[in-house]
Amino acid sequence: MRFCSLVAALLLSACAVSNATSQSVSEAEDELRGTTTKVVESRPLPIVEVSGLGQRRIDGAMTYLAIGDSSPTIVTFSIGEDGDVSDVQPHDLTRLFGRKAPQWEAVAGDAAGRVFVLAESTSTIAVLDPRLEDVTHTIRLEIPSSFPLASAWAADENSRGEGLVLLANGHVLVAKEKNPPAIVELGPRGAAPEGFRPELALGDRPFSLPASGESELVALKHWVLKAKDAKPIGDISELAVDGDGRLYLLSDQGRAIARLEGELEPAEDKIDVKALFSLPSKVAKPEGLVFASGTPFIATDGKKVAADALYELEPLF
């Protein structure tokens, strides 16, 4: 009898632990949807329909970039350690790209000061010299017909590349906006996918490019949102990496920033969201995300110059 009582007690204890664990997991999943960020300050940007933010180094100093999809203009600016935005300069690149709307959806930079601009409709990345005077290289993004997302990529030119992350191995991560929202790794033809881990973040290094004026990067791997995260997130409008090498995505539809798992493993096919931060109501139609000294900045896609803004948010914990 004493033995039976002991077994019963152990079973009850195990059930209690199991129930507590299940409750903790449930609460943790609820917490992903329960954190709301706060705006510290907002500022106008001299650009219509902001579609992406990025950063680069010029003479060792970090500078920041903003683009829009309705005009060939790149805005450069600085962000101080106190979050102060200064030296805001628009650069009209009509001479290089013509007056037609370029459909730019993402921008990134490297430690050589070069600027990489992703055109969604043509699936190309134009590489600009540090002075923003010439296109020095063009990268074609190739989605083979055998790639699982090939038909979805071809079906809608307005639902392709929305975010861009340059990696230290010469690969790139591109966000597919929707149908389905996904992160796609592209690299040299024949290369094996490496996914993402903090040490692959480009950081203070130049991005590797071949000496020729053109090259291609081929889709190697993709990851989609887990079912539990697909509904609250909805779409992907931007990708960004913070100073600690953590990967984030921004959702316009879900109006949220998602912090992702530490690594995207080549052997996996799902995006694991570790934390979700809802944006305040005043941050409408978020399209750009960048981190400056640990502080997130969001750019919105307004239809008028006065409505476009750069929002400084509180740090994400």
Q: What are the φ and ψ backbone dihedral angles of 246, each rounded to 5 degrees? A: -95, 140
Nearest to 105 by CA among 158, 149, 151, 45: 158
Give the other-Cβ count within 10 Å of 287's Cβ.
Answer: 27
CATH number of 31-312: 2.120.10
pLDDT the model gives residue 156: 79
In this predicted structure, the answer to whether residue 3 has a pLDDT above a threshold of 50 is: no
* Residue 91 · residue 73 · CB < 8 Å: yes
Q: What does the mean pLDDT of the chain come to?
A: 88
Q: Going along 59-155, which residue ranges are E strands?
A: 61-68, 73-79, 85-92, 104-109, 115-119, 124-128, 135-142
pTM of the model: 0.88
Q: How confident is the model at residue 306 (pLDDT cuts 50, 70, 90)?
A: low
Structural domain spans, the chain: 31-312
Contact predicate 153/160, CB 8 Å: yes
State the virtual CA torsion across 287, 242, 316, 88 in degrees, nearest 10: -50
* Res. 142 pLDDT band, cuts 50 70 90: very high
Residue that wins the pLDDT comparison between 160 and 129:
129
Characterize 237-258 residue by residue with b for buried, 16 or more Cβ atoms within 10 angstroms of its Cβ, and e for exposed. Answer: bbbbbbeeebbbbbbbbbbbbb
